[in-house]
Amino acid sequence: MSNKSEMEAFYRNTIIRGFWILRTSGQSIYHKNFGIEIDEHLFSGFLSAMMSFAKSEVGIEKGIESMEMGDIRFVYLPVSFGLIFVIAGDKRYEVNLYHKYLEDLKEFFITQLEDEIWKFFFQNWKRGELDYFSKFLDKNLNKLTTKWEIELITEMSNKEHLLKIYEDLINTTVTSYLDVFSRLIPIEEIIIPIQDTIKRITKGHKELSKIEISERGILNYGDLDVEKMEIRSFSATLENIFWSIVDFAKEQSGEKPVDLILKKCHPIIYKNKGLIRDLNLEDLVLKLLIF
């Protein structure tokens, strides 16, 4: 990048807004900001005071692990050599995501820069040379943030594919069930229990609770934001909804009719077989194909 404005433009959409290495005393020995300006002395002093308060007054041995300020989430990871790694990121993303990034940084820092770390401690620790690690970290930190951006885009795509696959499975199952049994069972006795099942499964989750089923058996999810969901719990919830609907239908009308209806889902499986492999949905496929 040729200048600061170009660098900020490049990182405008990044989930990482800044990264710091601090001593446990609070002194900053490395920092890199992506589009935000923070007074290093104020920030490091504030963090040190908060860590000390958490340990001495609240009794949290590890100190604070994350903190929000406006739209920014700060996440911390104590590492060897009396250092603390800090990431500032968009608070839309879960703390666990930033912990993963901090562990990536820790692994790189400890394994790739071991010699430089020892040189720092033997030669510069007392002097407290600021930005000692810049020449070693800047290039690789850029590579890491690019890697994380690619991973996030891939995960976003996977979550959207997950939602579409389960949407097709649920819509096919419920609408087919209505076509067969709505002449024998009042529609509300089918739809209302399914609605209640979805509410029970998604209760307490801000995004997933937006999922509902219409009177025509079509899945609706409004402005559900897949960015705010961890992919494994998202997949598990969608699977739980699907099989809970299947179990309800079997209790209401018997296994054999529902097993026949589920065979209508087979084309969805075949059409998405590549995605199903990528999304690790093999168990779902096996359960469907045995019907």
- Same domain flag for 68 and 192: no
Q: What is the pLDDT of residue 177?
A: 95
Among the three residues 100, 132, 164, which one is the final residue of a domain in this structure? 132
Q: How many Cα atoms sit within 13 Å of 52 on the Cβ side?
A: 10
Residue 252 and residue 162 in one domain: yes
Q: What is the pLDDT of residue 232?
A: 85
Which of 132, 162, 188 terminates a domain? The answer is 132
Q: Which amino acid is at 174?
A: V
Same domain, 9 and 97: yes
How many other C-beta atoms lie within 10 A of the C-beta of residue 80?
9
The tally of domains found in the chain comes to: 2
Predicted confidence (pLDDT) per residue in 8-36, tens digit: 444 444 678 888 887 777 777 777 777 66
Of 132, 166, 187, which residue is a domain's last?
132
pLDDT tens readout for residues 102-117? 888 888 777 766 666 6
**Same-domain status, 262 and 174:** yes
Residues 26 and 65 occupy one common structural domain: yes
CATH number, domain at 70?
3.30.450.30
**Residue 250, burial from CB neighbour count under 10 angstroms (0-12, 13-18, 19+):** middle
Q: Is residue 206 part of a domain?
A: yes
Does residue 126 sit in the same domain as residue 177?
no
The residue range of the domain holding 81 is: 4-132
217 with 106, same domain: the answer is no
Task: Give me the chain's average pLDDT, please.
Answer: 80
pLDDT for 7:
44
Do 105 and 14 sit in the same domain of this protein? yes
- Cβ burial of 242 (10 Å; 0-12, 13-18, 19+) is buried
Q: At what angle do helices 231-253 and 187-202 cross, to 10 degrees?
A: 150
Cα–Cα distance between 157 and 230 in angstroms, integer?
Answer: 13
On the question of pLDDT at 239 being above 80, the answer is: yes
Let me know whether 178 and 270 are in one domain. Answer: yes
Q: Are residues 157 and 128 in the same domain?
A: no
Q: What are phi and psi of 283, to 5 degrees?
A: -65, -40
- pLDDT, tens digit, 9 for 90 and up, residues 172-231: 999 999 999 988 999 999 999 999 999 999 998 888 999 999 999 999 988 888 877 888
